[in-house]
Amino acid sequence: YALPTGYKEPVLLSATDGVGTKLKLAIESNKFDTVGIDLVAMCVNDLICNFGTPMFFLDYYATGKLVPENAKDVVAGIAEGCRRSDSSLVGGETAEMPGMYSNDDFDLAGFAVGIAEKSEMDRVAKVQAGQVVLALPSSGVHSNGYSLVRKLFFDKLGMSLEDEFQGKPLVETLLEPTRIYVKEFKANKENIVALAHITGGGIVENLPRMLPEGVRAKINKESIHVLPIFEFMGQHVDEEEMYRTFNMGVGMVFIVEEKDVEAVCQNSDAYVIGSIVQGEKGVDLV
């Protein structure tokens, strides 16, 4: 793979991840064309948080018994994820291991490699009081919190995958693929101070990763465009647990200078949810 030109001090970055128990829903619903997008998303969305531009991707697919049409759908999803993230799918491994997995089960792992300018990588040092916190909407639950999702919808509420939710089968909402933010990052890179990928742990646990000591993020809960799926779950799950488990409708956070807020919001679907203030490192949901 030829390294892109134009970098003064190029640094290679890598990220690896999986899709977690969201795979169980794919298996139970026999719908395999979206989890590959999730796999790519979970890796490349982490890369851009270090100002890395994704270059290529590899996957590992392990199963008890290979079902070609299912594998074809999974790989098609991975290819679609690579298209959405401007990455090349350069290879992968498919392992058939009878006895290791039951026949229907399979697992996925993904590996993304990107490139960054060394001088641009340390974003934390650039964050300071007075800057603004922007949210980029999530597409849904993304790829975290599915153990709680399954416990609530299927064990506690006794719902099925085909039950209607917001005018379509529940499974479609739950399997909605994780949004990929690479294009938004590239389009707004010059105006972004720092980024945080909101995964397991929610805003409360992921946002502090991009904060230096001495500053806090003050987030206005009423500003967050909470998705209907989270509003519904919030009727049965404590609010604090919701915010510590799910993205709540915010899939990626940008920190920007106040003067750049308008430009970034016009150039994406970002919107203001808070600000950076002085104080002990952490997040206040107010």
pLDDT digits (tens, 9 = 90+) for 80-92: 999 999 999 999 9
Tens digits of residue pLDDT in 108-131: 999 999 999 999 999 999 999 999
CB atoms near residue 220 (< 10 Å): 14
Mean pLDDT (whole number) for 7-28:
95
Confidence at residue 247, expressed as pLDDT on a 0 to 100 scale: 96
Confidence at residue 29, expressed as pLDDT on a 0 to 100 scale: 94
Q: Going from the N-terminus, what domains does the chain have, and what CATH number goes with each?
A: 10-120 (3.30.1330.10), 124-285 (3.90.650.10)
Helix axes 35-47, 68-84, angle to 10 degrees: 30
The dihedral sign for the CA sequence 237, 241, 243, 246: negative
Distance of alpha carbon 197 from alpha carbon 195, whole angstroms = 7
Distance of alpha carbon 83 from alpha carbon 41, whole angstroms = 11
Tens digits of residue pLDDT in 218-267: 999 999 999 999 999 999 999 999 999 999 999 999 999 999 999 999 99
Confidence at residue 206, expressed as pLDDT on a 0 to 100 scale: 96
Confidence at residue 211, expressed as pLDDT on a 0 to 100 scale: 96
Mean pLDDT (whole number) for 153-169:
94
Residues comprising the chain, all counted? 286
SS3 215: strand
pLDDT at 103 over 90: no
Distance of alpha carbon 188 from alpha carbon 94, whole angstroms = 37
Burial 170-182 (b: 16+ CB within 10 A, else e): bbbbbbbbbbbbb
Q: What is the pTM of this model?
A: 0.95
Mean pLDDT (whole number) for 48-57:
97
pLDDT at 156 over 90: yes
Confidence at residue 51, expressed as pLDDT on a 0 to 100 scale: 96
Which two three-digit tokens encode residue 228? Answer: 């209907």
* Strand ranges across the sheet with 53-63: 10-17, 106-117, 53-63, 88-96
Average pLDDT, the chain: 95
Q: Provide the terminal-to-terminal Cα distance of the chain, rounded to the nearest Å.
A: 47
Which two three-digit tokens encode residue 117? Answer: 């300018």
Q: What percent of the chain has pLDDT over 70?
A: 100
Tens digits of residue pLDDT in 255-283: 999 999 999 999 999 999 999 999 999 99
pLDDT at 139 over 80: yes
Q: In this structure, are residues 73 and 33 in contact, taking their beta carbons and an 8 Å threshold? A: yes
Confidence at residue 175, expressed as pLDDT on a 0 to 100 scale: 97
